[in-house]
């Protein structure tokens, strides 16, 4: 298939794609992932501080 057609197809798809609002499950995934990540950041950071690397 010619490159120009491929480009036009991609362009058309991205421009005309219907808006998909965030579903509750997506919001849950984002919030849970971030929350666990930030909580672990504090916990692992504290462990890292309490048990420094042995040279």
Distance CA 43, CA 34 (A): 14
First to last CA, the chain: 58
Check residue 54 for interaction with another protein (CB under 8 A).
yes
**22: CB partners within 8 A, 6+ apart:** 30
Give me the least distance between CB of 17 and another protein, in Å please: 5
Least distance from another protein to the Cβ atom of residue 21, Å: 9
Q: Is 50 in the site for another protein (CB under 8 A)?
A: no
Q: Is position 5 an interface residue for another protein (rule: CB under 8 A)?
A: yes
Q: Which long-range contacts (CB under 8 A, 24 or more apart) does 35-38 make?
A: none
Interface contacts to another protein, rule CB under 8 A = 1, 5-15, 17-20, 22-23, 25-26, 29-31, 33-34, 36-38, 40-41, 44-45, 47-48, 52-55
């Amino acid at each position: 298939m010619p490159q120009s057609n491929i480009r036009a197809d991609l362009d058309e798809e991205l421009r005309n794609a219907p808006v998909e609002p965030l579903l509750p499950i997506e919001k849950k995934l984002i919030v849970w992932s971030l929350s666990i990540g930030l909580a672990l950041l504090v916990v692992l950071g504290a462990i890292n501080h309490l048990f420094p690397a042995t040279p």
